[in-house]
Structure 1
């Protein structure tokens, strides 16, 4: 069975695993990824994110063409992207926008 992860937008740094991924496997990045193979470097649960490229510490992480988080440490391609190595930013951005509008 071919294992896949879905990339939604060209600018995304991560893809979503459609099944559990195990180290040393090859996942096929579908969607906008157009079938690009990527080596899995650590166990990634189904529905979780895999890094499509190296992400630097403190770099914004993009998914759906939007910033969804900030890397708290360097994340290498093929690794799991989750709360242990990133912090959420999407909700905080909307809080900041709302606060600015309230100040107008």
Structure 2
């Protein structure tokens, strides 16, 4: 029996897809985005709404979701890995990365 899993990947340049249901580790997932098709074995269980890598993402490389940069890989991420706070550092709203200028 073949199980079909619903996922979403909006832009062909994305390097992650989003699970639209809970998917068990070891599941074979087919992700289609325009003219690209990915066949991925999930290394981790992926919960509804969470991301997984569709291609390897190198440490320091931007993570792209829905055609937008959502962060940078803080470690190597293999295709099929869960992509979340343990391996991605956000780039938006980082108050600790802002340089403040002292006013006269």
Q: State the alpha-carbon separation in 2 of the partners of residues 55 and 36 from structure 1.
A: 15
Q: Which residue of 1 aligns with 2:9?
A: 7
Q: Which residue of 2 aligns with 1:83?
A: 85
Q: Which residue of 2 aligns with 1:47?
A: 49
- Given that residues 72 and 90 in structure 2 are in contact (C-alpha distance below 8 angstroms), is that contact kept between their aligned partners in structure 1? yes
**Which of the two has greater helix per residue?**
1
* Residue 63 (structure 2) pairs with residue 61 (structure 1): yes
- Given that residues 27 and 38 in structure 1 are in contact (C-alpha distance below 8 angstroms), is that contact kept between their aligned partners in structure 2? yes
Q: Higher mean Cα deviation, 30-39 or 2-11? A: 30-39
Counterpart pick for 1:18 among 10, 13, 20 = 20
Q: State the alpha-carbon separation in 2 of the partners of residues 58 and 39 from structure 1.
A: 24
- TM-score, length of structure 1 as denominator length: 0.79
- The unaligned stretches of length 5 or more in structure 1 are 97-104
- Given that residues 38 and 54 in structure 2 are in contact (C-alpha distance below 8 angstroms), is that contact kept between their aligned partners in structure 1? no
Q: Secondary structure at the match of 1:44?
A: coil
- The unaligned stretches of length 5 or more in structure 2 are 99-104
